[in-house]
Every structure is written in C-alpha cells, then in structure tokens.
Amino acid sequence: MMPCTMLGAGRYHEGKPMGEKWTYWFGELGKEANDSVGKKCANLGELTKIGLRVPPGFAISVDGYRMFMKETGAGEEIKEYVRREFGDTKDVAQELEASRVIRGIIERKEMPSKMKEELIAHYKKLCEDCRLADLSVAVRSSGAVSMPGQMETYLNVKGAEEMVKKIIQVWGSAFTARAISFRFQQGLPIDWAPIGVAVLKMVNAKCAGVVLTVIPTTGDTSKIIIEGNWGLGESVVSGEVNPDSYIVDKETLDIERTVAEKTKMVVYSDKGTASVDIPEEKKRLSILVDEEVREIARICKQVEEHYGVPQDIEWVIDLDLPFPENLFFVQARPAKSVKKKGNDADYIIDLMTRLFK
C-alpha cells in the first residue's frame, strides 16, 4: 500500500476536466487551479507536484460551494436578506448582525445527500490509505483571494459526520464580520463569497511554525527566518507566544539562533485543540536542532526558487516519524515585507528580477 504521506499524487484522478467535478486530491492540482479551489488548495497541490512532503488530503472546489448554496436554498435566502437589510452604508454593529444571520442560514442547512456521500467516500479513502480509523483532519478555508485571518480553520476533526459539519461551517466563515467588511470596502458582492475548502490529515506535531524567505523588517532577501514553538503552529501564527527564532544565511546555511522562554503551546484535545502550559524542562529548550533548521531552510529555498518570489511558509514536524520524513509543509504564499531594504529602487528591481526570471 502506498504510504499515507504520498496520498493524492494523482492516482485517484477520475479523468474529468476541471469544472465537471468538485472534489480533488491534492496531487491532481497545481497553481493553475487557484480560481477553482482557492489559493491554499492550489498551493498544496503545487507543493505536492514539486515533491514536498504535504499532509495527504483533498480539496473541495468553489463549485462544491455553489452546489450547496443552490441545492439547499441558502444562496437565495442570503441574497434576500442582504437586499432587505444591508444598505449602502455600514457600521460595525451592522456587519456583526449580518454575519450572525448569514452564518446561521448556512449552518442550519444539511449537506445534500449526494454531496455528503462523495465527501464521506473521500474521507474513508483517506482513512484507509493512512491506515487509521476516524482519522483526525484539519478543515481549512481556501479563498481565491488571500484574506488571512478572516475565515476559519477547524483542527483535530474526527469522523466523517463531524468533517461534513465543519465543511459547512467553513463555508459559513466566508461571512465573518471581517470578511463582510473586506468585501464591502473592495466593492465586492456581500451576499456571494464562494471559497474552496482543504481537508487534510492532522500531523502529530512535535513542533511547528512559519518560515519567511525574506527578513520582513528589513527586506533582506539573503536570509531566511524560521520561527516556531512546541505543539501545533497556531500559537505562532496567532502571536500567542514569543517563539524560537532561527535566521539562516541562504548561501552558507549558517544559523543565528534565539531561544525564547516559551510558556504556552497548542495541542490536540477532545474538542479540537487547546492551549496548555509547556512543561518546565522544555520552556527554554530549542525546538529545533541544527540539522532540522538547515533542512527546513534548504527546502524553503527550493520553494522560493520555484515560485520566483520570497515565500511565507508554514511547517510542522511529526512526532511519530523519523527525520527527515517527519517534516511537512502545510502552506506557502508570497511573503510581504514590512520595510524595504536599502534603496527602494534596488529592492524593487531585485523583486522584479525574482518574479520574472
């Protein structure tokens, strides 16, 4: 049997052109599928294609969203509500109320039976290939337009029924107050927000974090910065802790290490995830050894070279697997620098060269 880490490498392709089906294994996708399945799913597919270790899973395209909204009638209900209640002006209270009502409309609906059957079949196949019953999965939003922090992710989701429920809730999270405000400001429809969804195996995280292949405060593209904490990466992404930091020279792979005193980490719980105290003996211990730091940096250099621009990448190390098979990547997107390095014109030329080489 093919190892779980290789699931989705294309073996499940049904021969249907893009648009005639609405679920895809990551190995069927690439960056060209952005508009069909959203950035996150397209990037996971692209990373799979170029040989990176990506947790196995599948994508639900925006066509799946459209089918659900049409077959349940939720789309028409939302359109009518917005027409009736949401005028040309807005305030925070109005956005909060619109979010509450619209999410309620979506989350009260049942998944149409044929859609539910297909989703459960995919989940069972994922369990079979990973040789685990009731596999824990992450259910994550995947918008065609990047809107970090505006939609929701559900972690440690167990069982087919719970997975289906969380998919509906992710669709509902396209109507958070933040997302509604963003669309209003951008002149986009408030009542229609098709997004993709990623369903992927949870990794039993020893530690996790983020990588930037540019120093964000200076725009220095000669170095990589790796940040991380014990447990799942949510504590790093959310800013809950002061993480360990490793600055790596791209050419020499020399490491500048800053080990923080870490107090909290995010772990699995019966209800998904929980923030817990880090054991005293691990608070001041580096989460990564040099070998792990250099392997993360080496791979992230390859990702940057593939995309042609500095990247913001999420990584996780699995507690149950040997190195380097235990290193997984769960997100890659263009990095944003806070401050340009040196002369603005030189910096822009550098980025344009990377973009078009």
Q: Do residues 219 and 282 share a domain?
A: yes
Beta pairing partners, 226: 211, 246
pLDDT category, 3, cuts 50, 70, 90?
very low
CATH number at residue 184: 3.30.1490.20
**Residues 59 and 37: beta-carbon distance below 8 Å:** yes
Reported as a single tens digit per residue, the pLDDT across 97-131 is: 999 999 999 999 999 999 999 999 999 999 998 88
Q: Pick the last residue of a domain from 163, 186, 201.
A: 201
Domain that holds residue 258: 205-356
- SS3 state at 119: helix
Q: For residue 258, give both structure tokens.
A: 């800053």
Number of domains in the chain: 2
Q: Of the candidates 201, 224, 239, which is a domain's last residue?
A: 201
Q: Do residues 265 and 216 share a domain?
A: yes
- Name the residue with tokens 């009736």: 84
Residue 21 structure tokens: 């089906």
Q: Are residues 162 and 238 in the same domain?
A: no
Q: Are residues 180 and 306 in the same domain?
A: no
Could you tell me if 8 and 145 lie in one domain? yes
Q: Where are the beta strands (DSSP E) in the chain?
A: 23-25, 57-60, 136-142, 153-158, 196-201, 205-212, 223-230, 244-249, 255-258, 264-269, 272-277, 311-318, 327-334
How confident is the model over 142-196, as pLDDT tens digits? 987 666 556 888 888 999 999 999 999 999 999 998 888 888 888 888 888 889 9
Judgement on whether residues 132 and 174 belong to the same structural domain of the protein: yes
Same domain, 114 and 210: no
Domain end residue (candidates: 152, 176, 201): 201
pTM above threshold 0.75: yes
192 shares its domain with 214? no
Q: Which element (helix H / strand E) includes 273?
A: strand 272-277
Are 122 and 199 within 8 A, CB to CB?
yes
Averaged over 323-343, what is the pLDDT?
76
| One domain, residues 190 and 336 | no
User: Which residues 6+ apart lie within 8 Å of 280 measured at CB?
Assistant: none
Can you tell me the distance from the alpha carbon of 233 to that of 229, in angstroms, rounded to the nearest whole number? Answer: 7
**Residue 261 shares a structural domain with residue 165:** no
Same-domain check for residues 49 and 168 = yes
Based on the fold, state whether residues 159 and 293 are members of the same structural domain.
no
The CATH number covering residue 308 comes to 3.30.470.20
